Chains A and B, each alone.
Chain A
Amino acid sequence: MEQALVELWPILLYFAFTLVLLGGVMLVSTILGPRTRGHSTHLPYESGILPLGNARVKFANHFFLYAIFFVIFDLETLFLFAWAISFEQVGVTGFIEALVFILILLIALVYLWRIGALNIRKRHLPEQN
């Protein structure tokens, strides 16, 4: 507990300083900056084309699957962190267990690869005939 406090205090202090600095800079700019208003300041920038509707659109999220994979794989690498730090203690038994674990991980990855889940173009572009 004592050790944790010794480590934590400087980080909290550092956080406070950075927050004050960045917040301060933003505040100063708000005070110093002028207020301008042109005839199209209120429009979203779309390279000169008048915007059609706003950006709150139904968005076919190509990347949703990647988010799911991230949750799966990042969670699994968390267990590897625990293994790596206790590497000396768990020895050969731990190594074999981690090996099995990583193998399952790789099999899952190969499966995803084979069904084409990692392939954006295949899933989202029209079929080429």
Chain B
Amino acid sequence: MPTLDLVLMIAAMVAILVPTAAMLVWFERRLLGFFQQRYGPNRVGYFGILQSLADLIKILFKHDWIPPFADRPVFVLAPLIGALAVLMSFAVVPMSPNLMVSDSNIGLLFFLAMTSMAVYSVVLAGWASNNKYALLGGMRAAAQTISYEVFMGVSLLGVVILSGSFKLSDIVLAQQNMWYVIPQFLGFVIFMIAGIAESHRLPFDLPEAETELTAGFHTEYSGIKFALFFLGEYLGMMLISMMITTVFLGGWLGPWLPPIVWFLLKTLSLICFFVLLRAALPRPRFDQLLELGWKWILPLALLNLVATAFVKLWGDF
């Protein structure tokens, strides 16, 4: 049975994660403004820090509209599934030696399983909306997510071979001498690309590309349901940053500062990098995206795996 401490920690975790993702929306807009030589939101509170709160209050008082032509139950469930699937993955991320919901033996597999659940949300949303843009967006999202999921797992296998465990805290502890970003650099890059594609971040946000599909799978969504999709996307970005930190950048390890500070610092710098990507890169065409995944990255991921195994057996690091 869980102890009171654990219950409190889990409650705190849930209570902190969601507002943090909301803050991230403000942070990204501010940073984008900085990259593009403008201010970004700076009116509500100091430096506009309360912008997300204002948005939330406004959105709570909006008409919670379900289109009469949509499939009601599926339409309501889709954003819930999306946000839930992403939030669940946070359960296995070790933020510091003590601060984690569950130090599961199969943490890595749990993470992969939960991220693949997210595809249901976009497909169901696209279908239930009964809107042509939404249908196209949902189909694209499905193709993109499943294509990039294949090698997301494979790119992590090199790390599994080196550390010999699916347990995320074991993987962090195995990096005490060297972060896995050095021996597994290819895996790191591939995982990052797959992560961006899985969370539909720019430059891989084709399922919701404004210029061609208005808003893709969430065209018909408004109010709080739209906010849940939005939240899911930002939580996804946080999750990918945290996973890269855990698996490739030594997680909470680091000198002098407390573990949690190191973890958050690494995560924050990765998030800044993701925002920079959004500011700097154009979108590819959809067929280019799929072909890149299948023709180049999948074989590269497999080669990385074979090379890692080879070096582990006959090399000496």
Within 8 A of A (CB), among B119-154: 129-135, 139-140, 142-143, 146-147, 149-150, 153-154
B36 within 8 A of A: no
Partner of A67, one of B87, B133, B146, B286: B146
Partner of B214, one of A45, A59, A67, A109: A45
Question: How many angstroms from the CA of A42 to the CA of B214 in the assembled complex?
Answer: 18
Partner of B88, one of A18, A80, A105: A18
Q: Number of residues in B with C-beta < 8 Å to the partner?
A: 80
Within 8 A of B (CB), among A1-28: 3, 7-11, 13-15, 17-19, 21-23, 25-26, 28
Determine the chain A residues whose CB is within 8 A of the CB of B59 once the complex forms: 29
Decide: B290 and A10 in contact? CB cutoff 8 A.
Answer: no
Determine the chain B residues whose CB is within 8 A of the CB of A9 once the complex forms: 1-2
Decide: B135 and A55 in contact? CB cutoff 8 A.
Answer: yes
Determine the chain B residues whose CB is within 8 A of the CB of A98 once the complex forms: 306, 309
Q: Secondary structure of the B side of the interface?
A: helix
Decide: A59 and B135 in contact? CB cutoff 8 A.
Answer: yes
Instruction: List the A residue with the shortest CB-CB distance to B90.
Output: A14
Q: A66-B290, A102-B305 are in contact. List 13 more A-B contacts (CB 8 A).
A: A10-B10, A11-B91, A18-B14, A18-B88, A22-B87, A22-B228, A25-B60, A25-B224, A29-B62, A42-B68, A85-B164, A85-B165, A105-B302
* Residues of B that sit less than 8 Å from A by CB: 1-2, 6-7, 10-11, 13-15, 18, 59-65, 67-69, 76, 80, 83-84, 87-88, 91-92, 101-105, 109-110, 129-135, 139-140, 142-143, 146-147, 149-150, 153-154, 157, 160-161, 164-166, 214, 219-220, 223-225, 228, 286-287, 290-291, 294-295, 298-299, 302, 305-306, 309-310, 312-313
